[in-house]
Chain A
Amino acid sequence: MEKQTRQTTRSRKTLRRIAAMTLFVAVAAMVVPLSGYVYVAMAQETEQAQTQVQPWAETNPRSDVWRQARQATEGRSAIRGPGANVVMTSSGETFRQIRMGPLSTYAPWYLALMLGAVALFFIISGGGEKIAADSGKRLPRWSRFDIALHWFVAILFLVLAITGLSLLFGRAVLIPLMGPEGFAAWALASKNIHNYGGAFFVVGVVLMIVAWTRYNIPDATDVKWLLKGGAFGKHLPAGRMNGGEKAWFWVNVGAGIIVCATGVMMINPQVFESRELFQLNLIVHAIVAILWLGASFGHMYMATLGAPGSMDAMTKGHVSSEWAKVHHDLWYDEVKDQEFSDDQPREAAPGGNASTSSA
């Protein structure tokens, strides 16, 4: 009996032990997986603390290298040359899209619009008033140096405009007319004329800025002249240069500096550290030059049809007193003592140093 009891006690102990173990396993089975959260939390903390990348957060080096290649990452190449250590860049495509897109689309429209506006203005206004020069009295306006400088810059301006536009639009306009070989010859000539002529043009623009800035300092008279519509044929008080002429001068200074600076850099391409800068430079050069050309149509109109008699100033160097009274009354009052008669020989006229004496 006693033996039996002892046996029962032992089997009960065994049962209890088994039950305890089972419970432990069950609890462990439920708790241990939760430790994953602790692990993740700890891992995140370590990552934040040491900014250490976990094995699975690391990116794929095989993809990375192509991503780098695509993003114009600079590497190393045994071949030397601009951009030789870069696999690819997108900027060339941007350059292509601007040059062949908006630039090629809007530039002709802009030029046509400016020409059209001038033509329309001529049709509506019938051109400027023709002023009779009955008295035969003349006033010196520009020295020979000024005249030479003006035509030097003006002729180069037109030559550079024609050659520059040929390079931009020749493919669309001239190839159908001249054929590929004919146009290639013209394009090569255009390129060379543009590059070498540009250098002389820069000199002209700089001289112009130096020589003529003093006549073109704006003042209150010019603001009034511009605001009250002097440009549209009204005769308003004006000094040696009216508001419109001064505005044109400053357009020349601004556009001249931009176009010349970008141009000089392009004929010295070694100044560019990257292709991106050259691309930008070429676009800026083209846009500003075309805007400038459009504005010059206004100047050409005013000098010929818009204010008859003006052309004398830049051909003969002197103007009729009547013209001066109408267009530049304040200047006339200043310089009327320099008046000379038409039949006097040109040498006798004090026109040789007109620009200095009439400032």
Chain B
Amino acid sequence: MARMKFLCDADRCIECNGCVTACKNANEVPWGVNRRRVVTLNDGEPGEKSISVACMHCDDAPCAAVCPTDCFYTTTDGIVLHDKDLCIGCGYCFFACPFGVPQFPEQRAFGSRGRMDKCTFCAGGPEEPGSQAEFEKYGANLIAEGMLPACAEMCATKALLAGDGDLVAEIFHHRSTSRDGRPQTWGWATAYGAGLS
């Protein structure tokens, strides 16, 4: 089975927020909830780079580890999903997730947040695939239709890649080794010195 992965190529991302929009549209995410976001580092300075972030579908997911009701599960494709019927909206997953992914539709008195919502890799949730109930709770199930997540499909510069981890890695490997300029591999300068480009 494929192991699904997202990868954002920071050298290509132009912060158009097309992925964010595609996600909101495909999944009809409520107001205030964003399953994906683009973060720009060094905004307006030389070396400015943008990175699109959503759920990374962790192997050993911190969100799943802290959930009091144990409502997360990982599909055979390595996609981390959760069951909104079991979620109690405690917010622990948001505090545990390194990427700040879990989102809550409410902000009310006594810390009432509503049930958690997060990126599903466009794979729906624990309902009949393609059903209305699934769409209302979790959004589109493009994976069941043999498609890939809407965000990556939308990406105009092909910065955001989604799909089988091996394939994504191969594409990125090809890009990063054939791109001119200094090697972009993280840690290259530390290991070999930045002069050795």
Closest 10 CB pairs of A and B: A62-B184, A56-B195, A79-B37, A65-B49, A184-B86, A61-B47, A75-B41, A83-B100, A96-B62, A76-B43
Q: Chain B's nearest CB lies how many Å from the CB of A304?
A: 32
Which of A39-47, A66-74, A110-118, A149-157 is the interface stretch? A66-74
Asked if residues B96 and A95 are in contact (CB atoms below 8 Å), the reply is yes
> A63-B185, A87-B39 given as contacts; is B99 within 8 A of A187 (CB)?
no
**Number of interchain pairs (Cβ within 8 Å):** 165
Nearest Cβ on chain A to B186's Cβ, whole angstroms: 4
Known pairs A77-B37, A87-B39 / 14 extra A-B pairs, C-beta < 8 Å = A63-B189, A69-B39, A73-B41, A75-B43, A76-B40, A78-B37, A79-B34, A88-B99, A92-B95, A95-B96, A184-B86, A191-B90, A195-B110, A268-B111
A65 in contact with B110 (CB, 8 Å): no
Could you tell me if B96 and A92 are in contact, using CB atoms closer than 8 angstroms?
yes
B20 to chain A, nearest CB (A): 7
Task: Give residues in B with beta carbon < 8 Å to A.
Answer: 10-11, 15, 17, 20, 34, 37-43, 46-47, 49, 51, 53, 62, 65-71, 83, 85-92, 94-100, 103, 107, 109-112, 181-190, 193-195, 197
Q: A60-B188, A82-B100 are in contact. Are A267 and B182 (CB under 8 A)?
A: no
Q: How many residues of A contact B (CB 8 A)?
A: 60
Instruction: Verify A66–B186 contact, CB threshold 8 A.
Output: yes
Q: Report whether over half of chain B's contact residues are helix, strand or loop; otherwise say mixed.
A: loop
- Given A58-B194, A96-B62, A171-B70, verify A63-B188 contact (CB < 8 Å): yes
Query: Does A279 contact B95, Cβ atoms closer than 8 Å?
Result: yes
Instruction: Determine the residue in chain A with the shortest Cβ distance to B67.
Output: A171
Task: Give min CB distance, B35 to chain A, whole Å.
Answer: 10
Decide if A5 is an interface residue (CB 8 Å cutoff): no
Compute how far the CA of A56 lies from the CA of B49 in the bound complex, rounded to whole angstroms.
22
Interface-forming stretch among A133-141, A175-183, A226-234, A337-345?
A175-183
Residue in B closest to A89 when the chains form the complex, CB atoms? B98
